[in-house]
Amino acid sequence: MGKYAEFQADFLDELATKYQFICHDGRFVDYVIFADNGPCLGWRDSYNRPYQWMTFNEALLRAKNFGSGLVSLGLAPGPDTIVGIYSVNCPEWILTEQAVYCYSMVLVPLYDTLGPDACAFIIKQVEMSVVICEDDHKCNAILDRSPRCLKTMIVFRDIRPATKTRAKNRGIEIIKFADIEARGAKTDNPLVPPLPTDLCTICYTSGTTGNPKGVMLTHENVIASVSAVLLQMGEYKPKSSDTMISFLPLAHMLERCCENAMYMMGASVGFFMGDIRRLSDDMKALKPTVTPAVPRLLNRIYDKVMAEINGSVLKKFIFNMALSAKEGELKRSIVRKNSFWDMMVFKKVQEGMGGNLRLMLVGSAPLAENVLTFIRCALGCVVVEGYGQTECCAPITLSIQGDHTPGHVGPPVACCCVKLVDVPEMEYWAKNNQGEVCVKGTNVFKGYFRDPEKTSETIDELGWHHTGDVGMWQSNGTLKIIDRKKHIFKLSQGEYIVPEKIENVYVRSQYVQQVFVYGESLKSCIVAIVVPDVDVIKCWAQENAIPGTFSVLCNNPEIKQLIFDDMIVWGKEVGLKSFEQVKDIYLHPDPFSVQNGLLTPTLKSKRPQLKAYFKPQIEDMYAKLS
């Protein structure tokens, strides 16, 4: 631990020096020097047009001008001024971000999955007077519930006169982004660069119950995280010749961390056109060398390939030979895309992602080992997998250079320490190298905005952030995430699930006595174990002339469909989102009880025990769904 502390101190000294230089005249100055004023931000106007590029100098100038324009609008430079942004990924998003930082203001992203009520809550909580919006649609989404504090909306695109009138009636002025830029160029207000300890951004997590929580991150948090990721990547880190495609939401810290790493190394970022269904078209046009990815995307690629080869015995045989050969190379740390098997089998997959990928960073949720190995073999590029949280500015751990083994998320990054603490109620013990993952370091957030109670629940008196995830140290010093302490989990597409909330809805059904909702980060949907109400089911069966004991009735497809349909109706009635609705159920005739070890003495579900007890049924449901 002493050597690690010494190393971290050296890292932080270097970070402080670097940060002072970056902030001397706006953060982009350092990046411009690295890039030799090369291409910075790329976009295209239609699918039949090539990408066009803005250089680092152009981006820096436009960011300065827009920031100066915000000041001319009456916004005071400093971390007490909060600016919102509601847009898909685009060059203007980055220009806005850098403009805000040039004048020490704070950026608060809004995004669709928060929902209109949550967006209104955020605007009101931070007392936001200015929101930068992408287009007419997003303007109207804000106007539907706009709090009184909102005075100005700045738009990237043209909007309808009716929207302007609607905004005016609510006391809100709508101004074009270009007009603010032009105003700033004329006034040329002096830059007010932030201190490392100044608030940089407030990232609101979509949350699971109640209102979203605002994670407060400083400039030091952001730069520490990015620098630590670059250090962990070693020789694989981005170079000024690299190009990354931007398609994961910039409202989340994973994408912002990746993009900041690219800019810090003088590399370029090209933006997809906004339609995730045509992402492959954008990648073929851009030909990126670097990309972030999430399990949902990679699972889709894997499933598509598997569906194709499973239709032919010969194709499956050749594919398995190719995969085996490439796995053998991986074990010898050979990563390439020019082998015989690449040309014969994997070329189509590689070309679907542009054909030039050399580095992929996977985050957001765990990736199944077989999918990770397939992606590494099929794409012939380095794939690093990380684990993190918004509260830690994205990264906590990251796999290291040369490690191509699946089943873990790497060791801690250099800007933080990680420890495991006992979780007695789940029988995880630190002495067995298992426990709740706790993090401390320069990437850890300062707290939740105006919510000291939740902050104290998450950050203890010694400064350790309790993640709620349960991890296990591997023999090689890497971390494996094995469970969730809180009964909250994230599906493979990144959506949070609160199983108890859903269970409380489903037990309202007259047919349901008990229910156990299950899901995991490797799956895209949830399933449930249901104990039907014996009296109601027997009565219904008798009325419909269906014979049999209760156990036999639980195996009846008609009864299963009856219960499933009623559960879905209840879910819709209370407003459960589609990903919160179960996709399959298993009917179990025996109630959960204290005696059979599935309930606590206070009659609460013992989730780990239920998971273990019904493992075969859960696996069978997911197998059928896939």
- Mind listing the pLDDT tens digit for each residue in 462-507? 999 999 999 999 999 999 998 877 777 888 878 888 898 899 899 9
Q: Where are the beta strands (DSSP E) in 264-380?
A: 268-271, 290-293, 359-362
Half-sphere exposure of 319 (CA within 13 A, CB side): 18
Q: Which pLDDT band holds residue 25 (cuts at 50, 70, 90)?
A: very low
Q: Which two tokens stand for residue 585?
A: 């159920």
pLDDT of 13 higher than 60: no
Of 481, 484, 449, 442, residue with least CA distance to 465: 442
28 or 359, higher pLDDT: 359
Residue 158 is predicted with a pLDDT of: 94
Q: Where are the beta strands (DSSP E) in 68-182?
A: 82-86, 106-110, 130-133, 152-155, 173-176
Residue 211 is predicted with a pLDDT of: 84
Q: Could you tell me the domains of the chain?
A: 13-280 (3.40.50.12780), 290-440+455-488 (3.40.50.12780), 490-625 (3.30.300.30)
Furthest-apart CA atoms within the chain: distance in Å: 84
Edge-to-edge strand list for the sheet holding 479-484: 416-421, 434-441, 465-473, 479-484
Q: Which two tokens stand for residue 2?
A: 């002493």
pLDDT digits (tens, 9 = 90+) for 551-609: 999 999 999 999 999 999 999 998 899 999 999 999 999 999 878 889 865 577 888 89
Q: Which pLDDT band holds residue 329 (cuts at 50, 70, 90)?
A: very high
Q: Which pLDDT band holds residue 511 (cuts at 50, 70, 90)?
A: very high
Which amino acid does the sequence have at 250? L
Residue 17 is predicted with a pLDDT of: 40
The mean pLDDT of 70-74, rounded to a whole number, is 97
* 8 Å CB contact between 582 and 487: no
Residue 602 is predicted with a pLDDT of: 58
Helix (H, G, I), strand (E, B) or coil at 156: coil
DSSP code at position 442: T
Residue 24 is predicted with a pLDDT of: 30
* 8 Å CB contact between 52 and 82: no
CA distance 231 to 225: 10
Helix (H, G, I), strand (E, B) or coil at 187: helix
Residue 605 is predicted with a pLDDT of: 85
Residue 243: other Cβ atoms inside 10 A: 22
pLDDT digits (tens, 9 = 90+) for 398-450: 999 889 999 999 999 999 999 999 988 777 899 999 999 999 999 999 999 99
Which residues partner with 109 through β-bridges? 85
Q: What is the pTM of this model?
A: 0.82
Which residues partner with 290 through β-bridges? 244, 359
Helix (H, G, I), strand (E, B) or coil at 385: strand
Which helix (H) or strand (E) covers residue 584, if one does?
A: strand 582-587
C-alpha distances (whole Å) from 608 to each of 225, 398, 614 are 33, 27, 10
pLDDT digits (tens, 9 = 90+) for 289-310: 999 998 878 988 988 898 789 8
Which residues partner with 24 through β-bridges? 26
Q: Which two tokens stand for residue 449?
A: 């905005």
The three-point CA angle 622-292-256 to 5° equals 120
